[in-house]
């Protein structure tokens, strides 16, 4: 099948590459000429495990190409995936300008039947806006061409995106006509040979399903974070509690890890957008979800609070080693990352920071290039030299089993603030290090 993917970010590039991998002819379009140039020269603008190799293989096979030529891209695919960004607007609602612009381009250039698929996370009712934008452009041209509308939200996780796309738990298809549905069944058949994973529903339900999924996951995290803060005060250990409740099959172990707040390009903006949709469209306050967001904002300042409780409010003259910049392991994405709240708080209080991350340093340089009090190192251990304490923000595998004796010897004061509960408190304390995890007994 001929497939056009509009937007070559985390979702578009992974989707386009995986669709090429199973034999489709894929053309990926982006308005960012630098991104397309990188891709055409064999580079990959984002870090995603396994992606570079898969892109190379499919480009070499002639099944995957990249362009900035909008007209060519629209004419190419019978199937047009919209995978552009939907960042938060100032009021928290999803900014649909990129989705609508991409839809208009389709209306302006299409010359035969198309299926237009919203893969971006978009509020309920967006498919109607996309359809209207295309119809308006067709009317301006004085032509009447048929097209199908599909909502096909994406559930991939950065860091495991290829596996998630190739072996999805479910493929949600919101669709209202048989012709478009038949095309979607054909397109997704290679990803569900084992059993049918397609969940066909109306478009609005599909749009809401994506927000419901992220809102539920964010709720579990905020719930655990609040209980962790309580456990700390009561002298209980949240890790024991986590295992104690996770064993219940009605609850399960997934997404119960307490930490220093959720971040990334999805949960924060999707929670806000759903709150806004509920308020604007229905006058409804989603009270559980408002609390989820508030709890998360609070949780992002737990690490700075603990650091100040130990070292004082004025941190000038202090240096902190920071392990982890990405919002989670196996990605270079720093959108809404808790590391950013921490960096801002430490810099505000006068501190210096020496940070390590296995892949996100380039992204951090792009964000903080001019900041003289923030440096980066190539190895985790060199970040510790002359630092007053180590602060862990991202649970990269490379941080999980460090040499505690070497950490104690490198730090000026042997203190670890662990925002991800990576270590056994006994092992850290036996090494003579003061340990401040989340929701577990704190150093005296
Ligand atoms: N990142 C994730 O893990 C994830 C997971 C599921 C769903 N989503 C959703 O998927 C969507 C895309 O997310 P992302 O993280 O891939 O975004 P991204 O910011 O990484 O990529 C979006 C890309 O779209 C391009 N673009 C913008 N307007 C365009 C246009 N008119 N024509 C062509 N290209 C255009 C941008 O230049 C950019 O490269 C969002 O709605 C997001 O919420 C993201």
Task: Answer yes or no: 266 catalytic.
Answer: yes
**Cα 410 from Cα 389, distance rounded (Å):** 10
Same topology between domain 2-201 and domain 211-297: no
Residue ranges at the known binding site for substrate: 155-158, 210, 255-259, 263, 328
Please write the tens of the pLDDT for every residue from 133-154: 999 999 999 999 999 999 999 9
- The average pLDDT across 165-185 equals 97
CA distances from 290 to 129, 166, 224, 262, 287 (A): 27, 34, 16, 15, 5
pLDDT above 90 as % of the chain: 98
Domain 2-201 has CATH 3.40.50.300: no
List, for residues 80-97, the tens digit of each pLDDT value. 999 999 999 989 999 999
Q: pLDDT tens digits, residue range 300-321? A: 999 999 999 999 999 999 999 9
Distance CA 65, CA 72 (A): 12
Which residue's alpha carbon is at the smallest distance from atom 7 of ligand 1? 154
Mean pLDDT for all residues in the chain: 97
Ligand 1 pocket test: pick from 5, 6, 7 the residue with the most ligand atoms within 8 Å of its Cβ. 7
Q: Is the pLDDT of residue 47 over 90?
A: yes
Using the mean position of ligand 1's atoms as its centre, give its distance from the Cα of residue 83 in Å: 5
pLDDT of 122 higher than 90: yes
The matching CATH number, chosen from 3.50.50.60, 3.40.50.300, 3.40.50.720, 2.60.120.260, for 301-436 is: 3.40.50.720
Counting residues of the chain whose pLDDT is more than 70, the rounded percentage is: 100
> What's the pTM?
0.95
Catalytic residue among 18, 28, 260, 266: 266
Measured in Å, residue 6 CA sits from the centre of ligand 1 at 9
- Ligand 1 mutation pick, 28, 30, 70, 172, max ligand atoms within 8 A of CB: 30
Name the residue ranges covered by the structural domains of the chain.
Answer: 2-201, 211-297, 301-436
Compute the C-alpha angle 166/167/170, nearest 5°: 115
CA distance 121 to 174: 13
Is it true that domain 211-297 has CATH number 1.10.3720.10? no
Q: Which residues line ligand 1 (CB under 6 A)?
A: 6-12, 29-32, 35, 83-86, 98, 101-102, 120-121, 154, 156, 158, 265-266
């Amino acid at each position: 099948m001929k497939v056009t993917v509009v937007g070559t970010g985390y979702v578009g590039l992974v989707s386009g590459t995986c669709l090429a991998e199973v034999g489709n002819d894929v053309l990926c379009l982006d308005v960012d000429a630098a991104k397309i140039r990188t891709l055409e020269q064999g580079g990959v603008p984002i870090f995603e495990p396994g992606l570079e190799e898969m892109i190379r293989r499919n480009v070499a096979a002639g099944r995957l190409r990249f362009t900035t030529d909008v007209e060519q891209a629209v004419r190419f695919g019978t199937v047009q995936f919209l995978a552009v960004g939907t960042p938060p607007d100032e009021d928290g609602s999803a900014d649909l300008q990129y989705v609508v612009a991409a839809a208009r381009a389709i209306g302006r250039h299409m010359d035969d039947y198309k299926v237009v698929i919203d893969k971006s996370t978009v509020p309920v009712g967006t498919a109607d806006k996309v359809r209207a934008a295309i119809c308006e452009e067709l009317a301006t041209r004085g032509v009447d061409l048929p097209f199908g509308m599909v909502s096909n939200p994406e559930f991939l996780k950065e860091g495991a995106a290829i596996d998630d796309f190739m072996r999805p738990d479910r493929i949600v298809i919101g669709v209202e006509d048989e012709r478009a549905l038949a095309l979607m069944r054909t397109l997704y058949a290679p990803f569900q040979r084992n059993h049918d994973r397609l969940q066909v529903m109306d478009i609005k339900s599909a749009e809401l399903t994506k927000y419901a999924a992220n809102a539920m996951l964010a709720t579990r995290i905020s719930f655990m974070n609040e209980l962790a803060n309580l456990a700390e005060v009561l002298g209980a250990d949240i890790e024991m509690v986590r295992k104690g409740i996770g064993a219940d099959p009605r609850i399960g172990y997934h997404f119960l890890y307490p930490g220093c707040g959720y971040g990334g390009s999805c949960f924060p903006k999707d929670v806000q957008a759903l709150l806004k949709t509920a308020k604007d469209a229905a006058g409804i306050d989603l009270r559980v979800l408002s609390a989820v967001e508030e709890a998360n904002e609070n949780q992002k300042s737990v690490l700075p609070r603990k650091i100040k409780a130990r070292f004082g409010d004025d941190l000038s003259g202090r240096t902190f080693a920071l392990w982890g910049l990405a919002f989670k392991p196996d990605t270079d994405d720093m959108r809404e990352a808790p590391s950013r709240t921490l960096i801002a708080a430490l810099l505000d209080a006068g501190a210096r920071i020496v940070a390590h991350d296995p892949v996100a340093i380039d992204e951090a340089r792009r964000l903080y290039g001019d900041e003289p009090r923030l440096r980066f190192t190539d190895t985790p251990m060199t970040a510790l030299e002359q630092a007053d304490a180590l602060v862990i923000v991202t649970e990269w595998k490379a941080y999980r089993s460090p040499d505690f004796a070497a950490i104690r010897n490198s730090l000026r004061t042997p203190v670890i603030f662990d925002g991800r509960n990576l270590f056994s408190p006994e092992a850290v304390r036996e090494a003579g290090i003061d340990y401040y995890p989340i929701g577990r007994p704190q150093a005296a």
